[in-house]
Amino acid sequence: MTKLLIRLARFTGRLGLALGAVVGLVGLFLALLVLTDGAGSGLVAWLTTVGVGAAVAIWRGRRRAGPRKLVPLLPVVIAVALTAAVCIPSVPTDRRFPTALPFVATQQWSLATGSRVAVYHYPPAPGSPRRATPLVYLHGGPIRSISVLDHRFLQLLARQGYDVYAYEQAGGGRSELLPMDQYNISRSVRDLGAFIDRLDKGRVDVLGFSAGGGVLTRALAEPDVAARVHKAIIAEPGPMDGPTAQITGQQGRPTARGIAPAPSGPRSTNVPRYAVAFGLMRLGLLSPDTGLIGQAEGDNAFKAADLGSDTASAYCAQDADRIPTEDTAENFSFSSAPSLQIQQTIKDSSSIAAQLGRSDIPAMLMIAECSSQIRQWATNILANDPAIERTQYMPGVGHHMWNGLDDNDERAYAVVNAFLQDELAPLPNYPTRGEIPAFLHDQS
């Protein structure tokens, strides 16, 4: 009995050492990935790990005879197999664009900035009261495809007489990729100006949603770009500059994050390569321009289910059990690395408050009741842009205000249309600049 216990203890100890060796080598590999920024699709880190593991195993087995010399190599083989999965692509490494939409033609426009973007045009419906000024839609993301839910809202606008244009920002959806170092918030603003020039229809109204609202805000602070804008609608904006991006203040009423059913469908994060790559990038341990995965491969790998609770956070808590499918698998595209790159350039940017304070473009701000956005991202714009004429606080909706549920699309349209047509607002002008402190206190 005693001998059995001794053998069991020795086996347990050896097993623990072997597992420890595997974990140690995997940890070394991850550390080397970070230090090398994933150079060579991770092969630099992998080969170094193999070399270190093999050298230690050979040293440990130097005094053993026969096959026992090979025992220390077993943890190395296991660790090498596990880490090799991080170095092997499982999706194409050249960009595979989403298939064409069945309900609208995709045009490709080359802009003066060098960007080549996918463009969608919804002309006014026959028999509708034609609106005089074209409307340009700036989507959120920032670098992703325009969702089918958004396309449906744009179709609603066209049915009411608006001449609607939308484009997917460079690198997103069906638009061509840029070199990674060219993704920045200033380029996004210049692309907007270049798009309006390419449209060649004079000044336009612009509706900017989420990250698109942040681009539009910065455009209003740039006189050369703002001169092309007739009216601006800033809906649920992202941060406008570095100081705003550093705020960690209040959010809106409770969202469906954490209580909605987990999204179904495939996930890239079930594959070790992409789980490691996207996870380390999100933690800031790999650069967006990492050598581990290329931009095109990352775009091809990322799936709608990878957004997880981010999608749920765009809906009110009471809608947790009926969150609509925002997109189709064929249309969905999200560019994680370029999005992180642009977000970082916003964080690194200086304040635009002074420039925004000189804006004279009539503007409206839309804020959702159950917004997952930091409230100060919107109220800082309200406080600093003297040309904001009205604020519309949208009850009963989350960040994705037009979402096909109940009459949400129609209510969002009513707010947009009233402002663009200089009609009486369907909702109170709330909050005003003077009400910002009380509004923020009420949200806490």
pLDDT at 297: 93
Residues contacting 27, CB < 8 A, separation 6+: none
Classify strands 135-138 and 116-122 as parallel, antiparallel or unpaired: unpaired
CB 361 within 8 A of CB 229: yes
DSSP string, 123-152: PPPTTS---SS-EEEE-SSSSBPPPHHHHH
Residue stretches of the chain with pLDDT short of 50: none
CB 238 within 8 A of CB 213: yes
DSSP string, 2-37: HHHHHHHHHHHHHHHHHHHHHHHHHHHHHHHHHHHT
Classify strands 229-235 and 204-209 as parallel, antiparallel or unpaired: parallel
pLDDT at 382: 97
CB 370 within 8 A of CB 260: no
pLDDT at 294: 92
If you search the block for the tokens 């974990």, which residue do you land on? 23
**In Å, what is the CA distance from 89 to each residue of 92, 177, 272, 296, 297?**
7, 19, 10, 12, 8
pLDDT at 268: 87
pLDDT at 167: 98
How many CB atoms within 10 Å of residue 11?
10
CB 173 within 8 A of CB 144: yes
- Cα(14)–Cα(6) distance, rounded to whole angstroms? 12
Domain residue spans in the chain?
2-84, 107-264+310-443
pLDDT at 341: 94
| pTM for the model | 0.91
Q: Which of 269, 242, 218 is nearest to 381 (CA)?
A: 218
- Cα(143)–Cα(150) distance, rounded to whole angstroms? 15
pLDDT at 66: 53
Helix (H) or strand (E) holding 82: helix 73-84
Q: Regarding the domain with residue range 107-264+310-443, which homologous superfamily does it belong to in the CATH classification? A: Alpha/Beta hydrolase fold, catalytic domain (3.40.50.1820)
